[in-house]
Structure 1
């Protein structure tokens, strides 16, 4: 083979390799939405896994004021992302992503992490009481009055570790109790008006020892949504993304691959 022929063959090979790389689809951006009594730092372990594996990640701030208004806030984040999105919600954040993804063309899948997926006309309070097992109501502190009416709900700090994060080291759970962000009571009672889980594929993960949302309720919601995969974590609390971040990030990556 002459030098000229060899050079041409090499150039052709490199061109084909470049085309193959160019044809490889970009990984979707993962948008994480926290729930009540938590904040975006609750995703830290999951974020570490996803970024290590090459995913762009945005942990959206959830105002916790109302399903429709919170969904609108998350939708602004979704709209700012040019490529495909996998939308992930924890707890009350599940109701938010169910509304935020409605009609969003770039959202390709929903991941529910110990979360609610209400039907139109249902509230998260309705779903909490649909099955026995939630011990949350007696652990709530005295509601904090808000200007103009309404109240903010907190979990009593002394009861927070056992109720919310029983499988998290106690010292860490106590810090979470102090830093918890309240949910407006009107948000908990607000009826859903959109159900993106009917149009988009969904994946679910939750702990078998969840004391906030009865595991039976999450199993029922996942079945109703015809979830592609459901992962249950033995002994895990409501904050399964903190105590078992690898299980959660693995499922998110499965959703991102479309499997």
Structure 2
């Protein structure tokens, strides 16, 4: 049986090494072009290789990652995004992160989002509070403020035909007419972590990739957010997108999506 707390300690040890590599490589040029608008740096490749090697050796659990792939095992599998927000990272923009989670029985049970350029490390295990730099965060308040911010992923990402750029732009525009103020960080992991902190009142991921979403899903859930897939259904590791927010802000996002859908 997997012990989430023991796995979290192992993950923290690995992330400390990864974070040093991350900082050392800031501003790295692309070395691998995957498709239009999507690339990896040498730091992406080296960080994932290191994390993969250590986790497999120290836990015996297989790894599924963005850069070196693997096989997704829903019974037990580590999920790695070595640099979420690679374009930001290559430009020296601090909105980028290392995302690591452990899936057990098709649900995330361990999550770390490490944002080295902001000196923030957030972590949690299933059913436990969210920890930021060693301190427990309070539960989220279900009352959006007058300057409530919502992270809306990336407009130009080629990841999802289901959420094309025209849909994303329309949603951003319509959300601007609500109490939510859209912001684009360029990092799904940062957006979801900011929801767990209460910095953002909501976050929308349009990504179909489990490595983008799973760590932030567990952080947001454990902070008290309502977490669904990108259309408001139940989230699971193969879901398309994520909407994470306290209930009132989540309802605002869903009402806006419904309006857009009804105008098609």
**TM-score, normalising length from structure 1?**
0.28
**Larger fraction in helix:** 1
Answer 1 or 2: higher relative contact order, Cα 8 Å, separation at least 6.
1
Per residue, is there more strand in 1 or in 2? Answer: 2
Query: TM-score by structure 2 length?
Result: 0.27
Please identify the structure whose Cα radius of gyration is greater.
1
